[in-house]
Amino acid sequence: MVVGKLERLQKYLARCGVASRRKAEEMIKQGLVKVNGQVISEMGFQVEPEKDKVEVQDRKIEPEKRKVYLLLNKPCRVVTTLNDPQGRKKVTDLLKGVPERVYPIGRLDYQSEGLLLLTNDGELTYRLTHPRFEIAKTYLVKVQGRVNKQNVDRLQKGVELEDGLTQPALVKIRQSEPAETFLEITIREGRNRQVRRMCEKIGHPVISLKRLKFGPVDLGNLKVGQYRELKPKEIQALKKACHLK
């Protein structure tokens, strides 16, 4: 009997655009994935893509015929999760005319806005969100009070949060007034609500937060709530940033 090329189940799910590889692993652990009618919950399981029938929540999964790469200017009060028990507006609700199933690369919290990348390229998503690739993300942050040089230095050197010391950040004061300060903050980590927690730690709670840049891709002048397809050179730049050919 001739056996075709085998592929790890979580990698196959990511390649099909179901989710990032890490999210796919969670779905497998939760018993949401079937192969040939059998629930699979082990991480080392391999499939033969040309032969095996793979389902997620009883929906047959196959590789997307077209890879899609989108840049969205996310508004405030929109969630980046694809299912929200509270019934709030989702980023995918803004993608009119996109037939492919796409998923956010990383997250922006409910109250944050700005650049959000979405794709059905699971391998790219996996690499851009994996800590070892240290992809830079830049934010424009308005905080309460006037931030002094000492606190800028604290942010740049790293602050101690409940989940450990943050990596050094690049911080610039864009505008400073007695009641509020605009900071430009660049980090290379992806912890939950990290920028907000960093600012709270130095005594300057965030008033508003907008992501301006993800790796080599800039938000530019895209209007809030609108999206566009990434240009080929932007896609190549993202792949190069995470060493993906």
**Type and span of the H or E element at 105:** none
Q: Please, are residues 75 and 226 in contact by the beta-carbon 8 Å criterion?
A: no
**Is residue 109 annotated as a catalytic residue, yes or no?**
yes
3-state secondary structure of 233: helix
Q: Please, are residues 125 and 198 in contact by the beta-carbon 8 Å criterion?
A: no
Q: Please, are residues 199 and 151 in contact by the beta-carbon 8 Å criterion?
A: no
From the list 109, 153, 163, 218, the catalytic residue is 109
Q: d(Cα 77, Cα 90) in Å, to the nearest integer? A: 9
**Type and span of the H or E element at 165:** strand 164-165
Q: Please, are residues 78 and 110 in contact by the beta-carbon 8 Å criterion?
A: yes
DSSP 148: P
Q: d(Cα 18, Cα 13) in Å, to the nearest integer? A: 5
Q: Please, are residues 149 and 202 in contact by the beta-carbon 8 Å criterion?
A: no
Q: d(Cα 210, Cα 74) in Å, to the nearest integer? A: 9
- Catalytic residue numbers? 109
